[in-house]
């Protein structure tokens, strides 16, 4: 199976057209900020405003101030994804830039599998800046996909495929195929936190199965996720050391790196050079991770079992 050209049984590509949105004002302190919802223009605005303010509105929506467009699940200021209107492909959120550090361990990925579409920040960046890479994205919420065009996510094509479905089940099905991704990026949240199926131990185990011998696993854990430590230990139990968590900002998200590629000494030793290369080429900042990799290499000299013997 070739992810770029074929489909697993039961999985279909989704290129849903942009929906008309209803704009609502007066819901934030800034009078110039609009909230835009996936509702017909004739819908009762007062009722929708009340549902948004009380937290009972159950669809993703947009918040726009003229410079930025954000996808939100709640009106409390929490942002799921954000886009600069004048530069739609830029990575606005710090954690998305940190997730791109998979390039330190896998500088030329052929296939990337993403769990969670959101506003498509990583999808757009990889699609534009890694032209030789095919990207497949799983998104369980059809309403998130319905906002795709508002975030300038390119249409499906030979190098991009967005699928409406459960990412955990897709990974489980993919484990029985012979064509694995080089990189698995996991950023799957809904209004209640991390998606339930992604939090299950079986998902991590199936992720290990599909990554083969050179794969990289990257998972975003939100700052409010109370079980972050549990998730990190679960990843370590399945993948083994090294598992490298990188905190984003002060009290921010945690991005976790794991996978067989991180047990390859040559790849670890090349990480610092790759960091400099991609910082210049992609205007990214990888100051923290190379230092953590050096620390692990030093520890591996004392405990060689932390790296695979053949490498």
**CA separation for the pair 194, 146 (Å, rounded):** 21
At 288, list the tokens: 């923290």
Distance CA 261, CA 238 (A): 14
Number of H-type helices and E-type strands within the chain = 9, 14
Task: Give the sheet arrangement for strand 254-258, strand by strand.
Answer: 160-164, 134-139, 111-115, 183-186, 216-221, 254-258, 244-247
Please confirm whether the linkage preceding 242 is cis (ω < 30° from 0): yes
Structure tokens, 28: 């934030």
| Tokens 């409390």 -> residue | 76
Average pLDDT, the chain: 88
What is residue 95's predicted lDDT score, i.e. its pLDDT?
Answer: 92
For 253-298, how does the pLDDT look when each residue is reduced to its tens digit (9 = 90+)? 899 999 999 999 999 999 999 999 999 999 999 989 999 999 999 8
Residue 209: pLDDT over 90? yes
Percentage, residues of the chain above pLDDT 70: 88
Task: Check residue 302 and give its pLDDT.
Answer: 52
Percent of the chain with pLDDT over 90: 69
Half-sphere exposure of residue 181, counting CA atoms within 13 Å on the CB side?
A: 28
Other residues' Cβ atoms within 10 Å of the Cβ of residue 12: 10
Is the pLDDT at 186 greater than 70? The verdict is: yes
Q: What is the CA radius of gyration of the chain?
A: 20
Q: What is the distance between the alpha carbons of residues 195 and 32, in angstroms, rounded to a whole number?
A: 33
* Sequence-ordered list of residues with C-beta below 8 angstroms from that of 47, at least 6 positions apart, any chain: none
**Structural domains of the chain in order of their starting residue, each with its CATH number:** 22-84 (no CATH), 94-306 (3.40.50.150)
Q: What is the pLDDT of residues 131-143, one digit of tens each?
A: 999 999 999 999 9
pLDDT of the residue at 194? 84
Strands 160-164 and 134-139: parallel
State the number of CA atoms in the 13 A half-sphere of 248 facing the CB: 21
Bridge-based pairing of strands 244-247 and 254-258 is antiparallel
Instruction: Report, as an integer, the average pLDDT of 199-217.
Output: 92
The string of pLDDT tens digits covering residues 40-85 is 888 889 999 999 999 999 999 999 998 999 999 999 878 889 999 9
**Model pLDDT, residue 16:** 40
């Amino acid at each position: 199976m070739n992810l770029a050209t074929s489909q697993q049984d039961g999985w279909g590509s989704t290129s849903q057209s942009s929906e008309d949105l209803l704009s609502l004002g007066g819901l934030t302190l800034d009078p110039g900020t609009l909230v835009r919802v996936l509702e017909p223009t004739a819908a009762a605005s007062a009722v929708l405003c009340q549902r948004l303010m009380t937290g009972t509105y159950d669809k993703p929506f947009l918040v726009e101030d003229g410079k930025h467009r954000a996808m939100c699940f709640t009106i409390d200021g929490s942002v799921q994804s954000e886009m600069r209107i004048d530069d739609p492909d830029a990575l606005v959120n710090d954690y998305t830039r940190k997730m791109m550090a998979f390039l330190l361990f896998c500088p030329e990925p052929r296939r990337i599998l993403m769990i969670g579409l959101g506003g498509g920040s990583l999808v757009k960046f990889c699609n534009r800046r890694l032209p030789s890479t095919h990207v497949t994205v799983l998104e369980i919420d059809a309403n998130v996909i319905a906002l795709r065009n508002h975030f300038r996510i390119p249409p499906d094509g030979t190098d991009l495929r967005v699928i409406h479905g459960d990412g955990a089940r897709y990974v489980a099905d993919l484990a029985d195929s012979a064509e694995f991704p080089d990189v698995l990026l996991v950023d799957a949240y809904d209004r209640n936190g991390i998606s339930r199926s992604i939090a299950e131990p079986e998902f991590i185990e199936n992720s290990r199965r599909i990554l083969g011998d050179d794969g990289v696993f990257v998972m975003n854990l939100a700052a409010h996720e109370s079980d972050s430590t549990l998730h990190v230990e679960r990843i370590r139990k399945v993948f083994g050391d090294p598992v490298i968590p990188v905190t984003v900002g002060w009290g921010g998200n945690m991005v976790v790196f794991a996978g067989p590629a991180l047990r390859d000494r040559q790849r670890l030793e090349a990480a610092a050079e790759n960091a400099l290369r991609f910082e210049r080429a992609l205007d990214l900042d990888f100051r923290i991770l190379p230092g953590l990799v050096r620390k692990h290499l030093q520890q591996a000299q004392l405990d060689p079992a932390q790296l695979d013997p053949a490498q």
